Amino acid sequence: MNVHQNSICCNVSEQNRDRSSVVILVVVTLSCLMPFIGKAFHIDDPLYLWAARQIQFHPLDFYGFPVQWYEHKMPMFVVMKNPPLASYFIAVAASLFGYAEIALHTAFLIPAVFAAAGTYYLAKEFCSMPLAAALAGILSPVFIISGTTVMGDIMMMSFWVWAAFIWIRGIKNNSIVNMLCAALLTALCSLTKYFGMSLILLLFIYSLVRERKLTKSVLLLLLPVFILAAYQWATSVLYGRGLLLDASSYALSYQNSEPGQLFEKGVTGLLFTGGCFIPVLFYALYLLSKRAVVAGAGIAAMGFFLYLFAQGHSGLPLAKDNELNWLFVLQCVFFLLAGAGILLLAASDLYRHKNADSLFLFLWIAGVFLFAGFLNWTVNARSVLPMFPAIGILIVRRIEETRMQTTFSATKYILLPLIPALLVALSAAWADYMWSDTVRKAAVELGHRYANNPTTAWFEGHWGFQYYLELYGGRALDEDECGVSRGDIVIIPSNDTNTNIFRVPEKMFSLVEVYKTTPARWVSTLNASTGAGFYSSDFGPLPFVFGPVPDTEYIIVRAISNL
């Protein structure tokens, strides 16, 4: 009886600990994200919003409308390279609360909270301090910034971590119900972002290695395969092309197999991985010896300068009065050190344990890195986001191994490094918030100033600038069918902070004004002049950059003849 009572007490105590930990995670997540719920829509947010509006009127034809996202108008199913589940979520939220920024960002706090809580329960399967592992994952720049958008990245991760947790519990408890639920969550994960499909293979390998045989229950992983096959067939009927394979071919069309390009992609992938998961840098002295940290920093510096040599300094903000920008170089070295450290953490964990758990974590990290660095059309922070639960778990597993032999303070070794990491993450998130806000203000003011005239106000550029300027009467300029008449206005944003800018014949236009906005002055998340490329490495090799940020310029010209 005493043994039974002790067992019940232990279970109650564990449940209370879990409940308290989840409450802490919810509070931390909301505290980090709620200051940004008024953030302007930007980057690919408009694509998700336009699809949501389409879904409200035509729920079974989610991408059946035209959109001008590039230099000319195209069908939405050609432009959009993500599945529609996040847009369905937006459509439901908007039908209840409207399309205001605060309303939709508040709705997206739900998947962010579920992602944090799911990371905790998943971490319980791999380490003894799951709260620390979850905090180390979510207090990273990539999680916080991605949590301030209405794109599908955080929603995908909420499905991902819960599917992985429930599947692993199902394998351990031989529960068909758990595994069926996990298979359905994996399908939802894949229909939020196509990268979610990789979870099918990851769970299959984990099950095969752990059970040392192919069990019938593993065949449940065919369920998401069948659902995705049905999606491929349905979209091919709707749009004349299966959108699942179409997205894959789009990414592969950008591949370059030249050794120099592969080396550049690999280093850029490490830079993004290290910058997006900066907590690893602050844990370095707890994970490695001081000698190893110094040696790693030296190797990282050498690797980065080899990268510069291979690139020939092209496109990088290194020259300042014909001198190296050492602040930028120093950040590159730190990010490269952190990125390489993450891969070494996964590899060393696999080397020491050689079991299903360590293989699962290694393949998770390696798979995301290979996709983000070499297979995706561009390196970007959103592509490395799926690493965050595994990185937090690996940090804690390493600390447990190196520190558990002696008595140590969990607060000192687990929580203190998160303070500077959080400051960096919030600084980057604030810079992204300020950038999106200045874009919205520019669109609104220029729209009021020029779009209400008898003549047409055209514009180049896309993302949030397009979304807000169209609300105020602006029209996207089509490179193929210009349509500009004498007296019309054309607004051209800087190509340092926008995309799909094309030249107009200067002799046919006269300058009206140069409108300037001031983003965050000391850190940037996307600016070609600073080398920051959080959303695309085409703008720079780092996800964010600390340093002076120039004003953003918008050139306004007036047509002096018909085009």
Domain boundaries, the chain: 20-239, 254-416, 434-559
Can you tell me the mean pLDDT for 412-416?
73
Is the confidence at residue 49, as pLDDT, over 80? yes
Give me the residue label for tokens 């039974």: 4
- pLDDT at position 4 is 54
> What pLDDT score does 318 carry?
52
> Is the pLDDT confidence value at 6 over 60?
no
Pairing mode, strands 475-476 and 489-493:
unpaired
Instruction: Specify the range with the lowest mean pLDDT, choosing from 49-53, 359-363, 375-379, 406-410.
Output: 406-410
Please name the residue that has the structure tokens 């050139």.
Answer: 555
Predicted pLDDT of residue 316: 58
Please check the confidence at residue 408 and state whether its pLDDT lies above 60.
no
Whether pLDDT at 143 is above 80: yes
Which is higher by pLDDT, 36 or 305?
36
Give the pLDDT confidence score for residue 145 in this predicted structure: 97
> Left, alpha or beta for 373 (phi > 0: left; psi -120 to 50: alpha)?
alpha
Q: CA-to-CA distance for 308 and 389, rounded, in angstroms?
A: 32
**Helix H segments across 283-417?**
284-287, 290-311, 326-353, 356-370, 381-384, 388-403, 410
Q: Which of 183-197, 252-266, 383-397, 509-523 has the lowest mean pLDDT?
A: 252-266
pLDDT value at 230 more than 70: yes
b/e per residue 290-327 (b: at least 16 CB within 10 A): eeebeebeeebbebbeebbeebeeeebbbeeeeeebee
Does the pLDDT at position 315 exceed 60? no
Q: How many CB atoms lie within 10 A of CB 169?
A: 18
pLDDT confidence of 407, banded at 50, 70, 90? very low
What Cα–Cα distance (Å) separates residue 36 from each residue in 25, 109, 116, 429? 18, 11, 18, 8
DSSP-H helix ranges across 34-84: 45-57, 76-79
Say yes or no to pLDDT of 386 above 80.
yes
At residue 269 the predicted structure's pLDDT band, cuts being 50, 70 and 90, is very high
Contact 526, 497 (CB under 8 A): yes
pLDDT at position 426 over 80: yes
Banded model confidence at residue 267, pLDDT cuts 50, 70, 90: confident
**Average pLDDT score over residue span 445-470:** 88
Cβ-contact 435, 497 below 8 angstroms: yes
Angle between helix 388-403 and 326-353 (nearest 10): 70
The reported pLDDT for the residue numbered 502 is 81
Mean pLDDT check: name the lowest of 5-14, 37-46, 57-66: 5-14
* pLDDT beyond 70 at 256: no
- What pLDDT shows up at residue 406? 43
Q: Are strands 489-493 and 457-459 parallel, antiparallel or unpaired?
A: parallel
The CA angle 356-141-464, to the nearest 5 degrees, is 120
Q: What is the pLDDT of residue 414?
A: 76
Query: Which pLDDT score is estimated for 405?
Result: 45
Q: Please give the pLDDT value at position 167.
A: 96
Instruction: Look at residue 473 in the predicted model and tell me its pLDDT.
Output: 87
Inform me whether the pLDDT recorded for 397 exceeds 70: yes
- The confidence score (pLDDT) of residue 482 equals 72
- How far apart, in whole angstroms, are the C-alpha atoms of residue 97 and residue 120? 30
CA angle 528, 439, 52 (to 5 degrees): 105
Do the Cβ atoms of 395 and 279 come closer than 8 Å? yes
pLDDT of residue 295: 62
Q: Which of 189-203, 284-298, 434-448 shows the lowest per-residue confidence on average (mean pLDDT)?
A: 284-298
| Region 478-499 average pLDDT | 84
Q: What is the pLDDT of residue 410?
A: 56
Task: Give the whole-angstrom CA distance, residue 55 versus residue 48.
Answer: 10
Write down the pTM of the prediction: 0.92
Q: Is residue 511 helix, strand or coil? A: strand
- Please state the length of the chain: 563
- What 3-state class would DSSP assign to 308? helix
Task: Write down the pLDDT at residue 514.
Answer: 92
- Radius of gyration in angstroms for the set of CA atoms belonging to the chain, rounded to a whole number: 25
Which of the four pLDDT bands, split at 50, 70 and 90, describes residue 116?
very high
Q: What is the pLDDT of residue 472?
A: 87
Most confident option among 68-77, 225-234, 248-257: 225-234
Confidence band for 296, pLDDT divided at 50, 70 and 90 = low
Checking if the pLDDT of 403 tops 70, the result is no
Instruction: Tell whether the model's pLDDT for residue 57 goes beyond 70.
Output: yes
- The band of 161, judged by pLDDT with boundaries at 50, 70 and 90, is very high
Query: How many other C-beta atoms lie within 10 A of the C-beta of residue 425?
Result: 25
Burial of 31 (0-12, 13-18, 19+ CB in 10 A): exposed
